[in-house]
Structure 1
Amino acid sequence: MNLTVYLAGQIHDNWREEVKKLAEEKKLPLTFVSPQTNHDRSDDIGEAILGKQPGNFYRDDAASSVNNFRTQVLMQKSDLVIALFGEEYKQWNTAMDASTAIALGKPTIIIRPEKLIHPLKELSNKANITVESVEQALDVIAYIYE
């Protein structure tokens, strides 16, 4: 049984590649989808499709509409969601995606460092499970196949 996993989280480093590599090493039959990880493409997509916008607010609004559409389609098609909260980057999109996944009833794994226990306590309480590492998240998924 192949599962599709939506990888929610910041797009500024290669954490998704780490997830994919570990899943491959564990021989887990997973397909991964995610937000647009090309930051420039994500920022420019509204104008690329809808044309030049009259200011930064409208430019961001247009891009957000297209990105939210993409996220909704991919998340609804996913079997489960991994939302990674890292230590370095702002996590607003991760929180939004995790909340959306939970509201959709998607099985959700949150990965967060110990220092984020308090600020993420309500979100962690709503998720199916909260772990501290990518390895732990994949061990949870591996358990499905036992």
Structure 2
Amino acid sequence: MKLMIYLAGQIHDSWREDLRNKAGEMKLNVDFSAPMENHDRSDQIGEEILGQQPNAVLKDEAASAINNLRTKVLLNKADLVIAKFGESYKQWNTAVDAGEAVAMGKPLILIRPEKLHHALKELSNKAQVVVETEEQALQTIKYIFESE
């Protein structure tokens, strides 16, 4: 059995690459998908496909529509979602993706530091597992594959 895992969370650092590398080292039978990790491409895709927009709001709306379509397709294909909340960036997209995963009935592992517990308490309550590190998330996934 191979699992498809969607990695929701901010795109400004290498957490996904680190997690993918650790999963490879652990020889987990998984594939990953994620939001567009190239921030500029994500912001420009609306105008690239639909053409120049008359203002910044409509530019964002066009990009958002295409990014939301991409996310919905990838979430639909996911067996499991990992949503990582960190302290460095505002996490609105992470919250939207995690909420959509819950609404779709996708199993959710939430990664968040303890200090964000209160802010994320309702979402944490909807997740199947809440951990503080990527390593703990991967150990949880590893357990899925254990037979004894």
The aligned counterpart of 2:109 is 109
CA distance, structure 2, for counterparts of residue 94 and residue 118 of structure 1: 16
TM-score of the aligned structures, taking structure 2 as reference length: 0.98
Tell me whether 1:67 sits opposite 2:67 in the alignment. Answer: yes
Letter paired with 1:65: A
Structure 2 stretches lacking a partner, 5+ long: none
Tell me whether 1:19 sits opposite 2:22 in the alignment. Answer: no
TM-score of the aligned structures, taking structure 1 as reference length: 0.99
TM-aligned CA deviation for residue 87 of structure 1: 1.0
The aligned counterpart of 1:7 is 7
CA distance, structure 2, for counterparts of residue 26 and residue 39 of structure 1: 29
TM-aligned CA deviation for residue 48 of structure 1: 0.2
CA distance, structure 2, for counterparts of residue 139 and residue 18 of structure 1: 14
Letter paired with 2:18: E
TM-aligned CA deviation for residue 73 of structure 1: 0.1
The aligned counterpart of 2:119 is 119
The aligned counterpart of 1:135 is 135
TM-aligned CA deviation for residue 122 of structure 1: 0.3
CA distance, structure 2, for counterparts of residue 53 and residue 43 of structure 1: 12
**1:72-87 superposed matches below 5 A:** 72-87=72-87
CA distance, structure 2, for counterparts of residue 126 and residue 78 of structure 1: 17
CA distance, structure 2, for counterparts of residue 58 and residue 140 of structure 1: 41
CA distance, structure 2, for counterparts of residue 117 and residue 77 of structure 1: 29
The aligned counterpart of 1:56 is 56
SS of structure 2 residue aligned to 1:53: coil
Letter paired with 2:33: V
The aligned counterpart of 2:45 is 45
* CA deviation vs aligned residue, 1:65-104 (integer Å, no higher than 9, x gap): 0000000000100100000001101100000000000000
Structure 1 stretches lacking a partner, 5+ long: none
TM-aligned CA deviation for residue 25 of structure 1: 1.1
TM-aligned CA deviation for residue 9 of structure 1: 0.2
Letter paired with 2:143: Y
Calculate the aligned-residue CA RMSD, in Å. Answer: 0.4
CA distance, structure 2, for counterparts of residue 145 and residue 72 of structure 1: 26
